[in-house]
Amino acid sequence: MDQIKQKRIVQPTPSALIDETGTPLFGTFQSPFPSFNLLDYKSKNPFRRLLNHLRLTEWQAIEVRTGSGIFLMAIYRFGVLNIHLVLFYETKTKTLKVWNHTNVIIPKSKPSKSLMNGSKSTFQSGKKFSQIVNRYEEGMVSACGYTKNQKHKDISYDFRLHQISQPSIVNIPIKDNYPIYTEKDLFGFEGSIKIDGVEMIDGDTYAILDDHRGYYPRHSGYDWVTSFGKKEIAGKTTPFGLNCTDFRLNSNQDLYNENGFWDESNFHILDNVGFTHEINGLSIKNHHGVQLSFETLATHKVSLNLLLFKIDYKLHVGLLSGTIETENNGTVVFDKDLALCEYRYTII
C-alpha cells in the first residue's frame, strides 16, 4: 500500500485543468479546481482542436442510498446530445423505475462552470427539471427536481448534502493524453425523494456526488462500481463509500486512477482494478487485496448506433460481496451490499 501511495501523491490544486500552453495537468489533487477550462485543450490534431466544443463530455450525477433503495440523477451533455437520467431501485418491490430523457441540438443540459460559489448544473425541458447547486468551498451541495412518465408517473426530489470526507480528485490521461477529470465525494443527506407523493427516504441516508468532464478518444469506454452507506471498519461503524473504475485506454493506471474508499474523515486509495464480465454480474479484482463480486438485480440500457456514432451503455443495480484490504492490514467486508455498476463503450 505504501508503494501505491508513493505513486499517487496528492498535489496542490492548480488554478486550471489546462495550462497556458493548452496542456492538461494530470495527477491527484487536494481540492476542487476553480476553473474547468477544458476548451483550452490543444490536441495533437489541429482539426480536432476546432471541434473541442462538440467533443467535450460533461456530467454531474448524484447517487443516494437510503433504507428504501438507491436513487440516481444525472445531468449530461456531449456536443449536441443532452441526457437527463433519473432512476430509483426500490428494494422492497425489487423494481427499477427509470425516467430517461434525451434530446439533441437544443441545449437543455447545462453543466456547471465550476463546483464553487453557487455554480449550477441544470436540465430544463417542459415539465422535466433538475438543478444541482455547488458550494464546495463550504462543503455543501443542494439539488432539486421533478419529472414524470406514463409508466412510473412522477418523482420529485429536494435535498441538501454536506461533505463528510476528503474528496477523490483526479485528472487522468487516456489514449494520446486525452484528459478525463473526475471528482467524487461522500456526503451526508438531508431532504426528500418522493415517488407519486410517497416518501422514499428511510433510515440512514448518504450520497456520492460524481463530477466528470473531458475528452474521450473515438473508441473508448470504462467499467465502474460504487457502494456506500454505513459499514464496520476495524470494529467501528462509519459512513462509507467505495469507488472503483477501469478506464480501458488508461495506459498508466498505476499512476492515474480514482480507486479507493471513504470513511468518516478521509479517502483511502486503492490500486488499479480489473473487471471481468460474467453471466449475471462481474468480478472486480487486483493483486493488492481487492476481491469483489457483483450480482446484477436490474439493468437500464441505452443503445444508439448511428453509423459514425455509437453508444453501448448499461447501468446495473446489484449486490456487492467480497473484501478489500486497508492500508492498516484491516479488511472491509461486503455481504450483498446494494451497489451500482456501469459499463460504457462509445464510438464518437
At 4, which helix (H) or strand (E)? Answer: helix 2-7
The dihedral over CA atoms of 148, 152, 154, 155, expressed in degrees to the nearest 10, equals: -110
Percent of the chain with pLDDT over 70: 99
Nearest to 74 by CA among 224, 205, 188, 178: 224
Q: What is the mean pLDDT of the chain?
A: 93
What pLDDT digit, counting tens, does each position of 101-138 carry? 988 888 899 999 999 999 999 999 988 999 999 999 99
Burial (Cβ within 10 Å: 0-12, 13-18, ≥19) of residue 197 = exposed
How far is the C-alpha of 224 from the C-alpha of 275, rounded, in Å? 9
Burial (Cβ within 10 Å: 0-12, 13-18, ≥19) of residue 3 = exposed
How far is the C-alpha of 5 from the C-alpha of 85, rounded, in Å? 35
What pLDDT digit, counting tens, does each position of 275-331 carry? 999 989 999 999 999 999 999 999 999 988 877 788 899 999 999 999 999 887 789
Q: How far is CA 68 from CA 84, 124, 128, 145, 347, in A?
A: 23, 28, 24, 19, 37
Question: What pTM does this model have?
Answer: 0.95
Residues 6+ apart with CB under 8 A from 167: 31, 32, 183, 184, 185, 267
Query: How much is the pLDDT for 328?
Result: 77
How far is the C-alpha of 101 from the C-alpha of 76, rounded, in Å? 10
How far is the C-alpha of 131 from the C-alpha of 110, rounded, in Å? 9
At 16, which helix (H) or strand (E)? Answer: none
Query: How much is the pLDDT for 305?
Result: 83
Q: Is the pLDDT of residue 1 over 70?
A: no
Task: Tell me the mean pLDDT in the region 144-157.
Answer: 89
How far is the C-alpha of 25 from the C-alpha of 211, rounded, in Å? 17
Q: Are 83 and 99 in contact (CB under 8 A)?
A: no
Q: Are 217 and 175 in contact (CB under 8 A)?
A: yes
CA angle 112, 218, 44 (to 5 degrees): 85
265 band by pLDDT with thresholds 50, 70 and 90: confident
Query: How much is the pLDDT for 119?
Result: 97
What pLDDT digit, counting tens, does each position of 178-228 carry? 999 999 999 999 999 999 999 999 999 999 999 999 999 989 999 999 999
Query: How much is the pLDDT for 45?
Result: 78
At 176, which helix (H) or strand (E)? Answer: none
Query: How much is the pLDDT for 297?
Result: 98
